[in-house]
């Protein structure tokens, strides 16, 4: 229990610290650096993450499938494909659009290749480090990256002659981040899996780059691979498309405020994803707990508590001027805006925790729910923005999150019931055999 609590703390810190570092770095940059150059530099970085996610197969998620874990000891080869695809897309398209002035142009060509290559090789490393219980290592690496972003801005403020190197430095931070995760993963594999772990299966084939049967592996697991990749690909688009929609409908000022709130949503997304990976090691206990959810009145009490805490957080956010919400008008409107923002973040967090359970038990439902989540979110954001402005856009995110959470919970409970019934039949069969003997 103590190890689990420590992992949870590290996961939260590893997600919160980079987000905090990004917020501080952006705030300082907007105050002291050229706004147009910043916009183009951050646009290049945004495209970098699009290129990364479009070729992210979600190897840690795939590795949670028992059938996959029983066949091979690692999925690092999927990250090799991710790195190559992301590098080709980002280096070619990014350089081309930079020449037309859409993105900032890097002063050196190396970061355009090094950043996607190193980052693309870190997907599996990040997930497996959590499986190994190395959340503290991830937290340390994330902290180094967060501090580096702030120090870069401080350096540019002190030496303005280095402003043209801003996109280069941003990409180098991402390259170093990916490289550190990969090195930490390689060190963990030498130590072996943690003692008493039920997650790593001893019958899995030891991976060899030259002799591994890639064709057979992809043929046997193509549904899992495509389902996981599809989920990452559409989530990548959704992270950026909704910002573009709000900016187009309500204008750039409203779009910038929506982007600030989106950073809170992304924080909830990352924390929920990390929490799900930590809880994977207690998979059987999680499945059993889903069948013993508290009674309705207890669920209602929990919902009331969540609303109360969200209201308190919203009041505090308005009090300290967390975001420039004065443009929205009255204090009541600002409070409602922050309440919907935090409520959406809470729902996103729980959706991410349940998403890994859904994927591990029912890949078809995972794909359907992922598609519904993105489609419903974009549709509701677009529709409600017209009539209710920014509050309408955030309400659309919250409504979509509530619907997805309900669907994920229903699917998870159904899978848990089927799994435990199957275990019960196996146990009865064994008992019958023993009695016969």
At 195 the pLDDT is 61
pLDDT digits (tens, 9 = 90+) for 370-392: 788 888 888 998 899 888 888 99
Least confident of 89-98, 185-194, 237-246: 237-246
Does the structure show a pLDDT above 80 at 171?
A: yes
pLDDT digits (tens, 9 = 90+) for 278-306: 665 554 555 555 545 555 555 677 678 88
Does the structure show a pLDDT above 60 at 61?
A: yes
Least confident of 87-91, 191-195, 359-363: 191-195
pLDDT digits (tens, 9 = 90+) for 311-324: 898 898 888 777 76
Please state the rounded mean pLDDT for residues 210-225: 81
First CA to last CA distance, the chain = 40
pLDDT digits (tens, 9 = 90+) for 327-357: 788 888 889 988 998 998 888 888 887 777 7
Least confident of 22-26, 333-337, 394-398: 22-26
Cα torsion 280, 281, 283, 289: sign: negative
Higher pLDDT, 55 or 280: 55
Reported pTM: 0.67
73, 189 in Cβ contact below 8 A?
no
Grouping H, G, I as helix, E, B as strand and the rest as coil, residue 64 is: coil
Q: DSSP letter string over 314-344?
A: HHHHHHTTSS-GGGG-SHHHHHHHHHHHHHH
At 95 the pLDDT is 92
> Nearest-CA neighbor of 11 among 155, 200, 145, 137?
137
Confidence of residue 84 (pLDDT cuts 50, 70, 90): very high
The mean pLDDT value of the chain amounts to 78
Confidence of residue 90 (pLDDT cuts 50, 70, 90): very high
> Nearest-CA neighbor of 141 among 105, 180, 187?
180
pLDDT digits (tens, 9 = 90+) for 262-280: 777 877 877 777 677 666 5
> Nearest-CA neighbor of 88 among 126, 131, 44, 120?
120
For the ranges 234-248, 364-378, 404-418, the maximum mean pLDDT occurs at: 364-378
75, 221 in Cβ contact below 8 A?
no
pLDDT digits (tens, 9 = 90+) for 113-166: 999 999 999 988 888 887 777 778 888 898 899 899 889 989 999 988 888 998
């Amino acid at each position: 229990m103590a190890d689990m609590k420590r992992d949870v703390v590290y996961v939260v810190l590893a997600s919160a610290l980079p987000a905090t570092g990004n917020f501080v770095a952006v705030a300082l940059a907007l105050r002291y650096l050229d706004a147009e150059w910043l916009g183009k530099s951050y646009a290049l970085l945004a495209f970098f993450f699009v290129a990364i996610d479009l070729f992210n197969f979600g190897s840690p998620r795939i590795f949670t499938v028992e059938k996959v874990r029983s066949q091979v000891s690692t999925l690092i080869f999927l990250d090799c494909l991710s790195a190559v695809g992301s590098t080709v897309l980002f280096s070619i398209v990014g350089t081309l659009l930079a020449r037309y002035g859409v993105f900032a142009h890097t002063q050196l060509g190396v970061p355009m290749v090094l950043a996607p290559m190193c980052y693309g090789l870190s997907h599996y490393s990040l997930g497996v480090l959590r499986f190994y219980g190395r959340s503290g290592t991830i937290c340390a690496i994330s902290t180094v990256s967060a501090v580096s972003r702030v120090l870069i801005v401080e350096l540019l403020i002190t030496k303005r002659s280095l402003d043209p190197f801003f996109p280069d430095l941003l990409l180098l931070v991402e390259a170093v981040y990916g490289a550190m995760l990969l090195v930490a993963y390689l060190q963990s594999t030498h130590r072996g899996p943690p003692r008493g772990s039920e997650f790593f299966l001893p019958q899995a084939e030891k991976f060899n780059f030259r002799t591994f049967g890639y064709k057979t592996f992809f043929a046997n697991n193509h549904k899992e691979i495509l389902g996981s990749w599809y989920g990452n690909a559409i989530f990548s688009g959704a992270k950026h498309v909704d910002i573009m929609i709000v900016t187009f409908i309500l204008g750039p000022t409203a779009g910038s405020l929506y982007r600030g709130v989106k950073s809170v949503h992304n924080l909830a997304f990352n924390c929920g994803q990390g929490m799900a990976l930590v809880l994977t090691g207690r998979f059987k206990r999680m499945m059993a707990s889903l069948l013993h959810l508290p009674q309705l009145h207890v669920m209602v009490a929990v919902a009331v508590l969540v609303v109360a805490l969200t209201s308190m957080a919203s009041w505090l956010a308005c009090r300290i001027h967390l975001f420039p919400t004065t443009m929205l008008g009255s204090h009541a409107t600002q409070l409602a805006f922050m309440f919907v923002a935090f409520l959406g973040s809470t729902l996103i967090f729980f959706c991410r925790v349940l998403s890994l359970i859904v994927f591990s038990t029912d890949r078809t439902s995972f794909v359907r729910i992922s598609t519904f989540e993105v489609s419903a979110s974009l549709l509701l954001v677009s529709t409600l923005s017209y009539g209710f402005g920014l509050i309408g856009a955030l309400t659309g995110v919250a409504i979509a999150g509530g619907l997805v959470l309900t669907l994920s919970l229903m699917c998870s409970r159904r899978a848990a019931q089927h799994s435990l019934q199957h275990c019960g039949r196996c146990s009865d069969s064994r008992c019958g055999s023993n009695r016969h003997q």
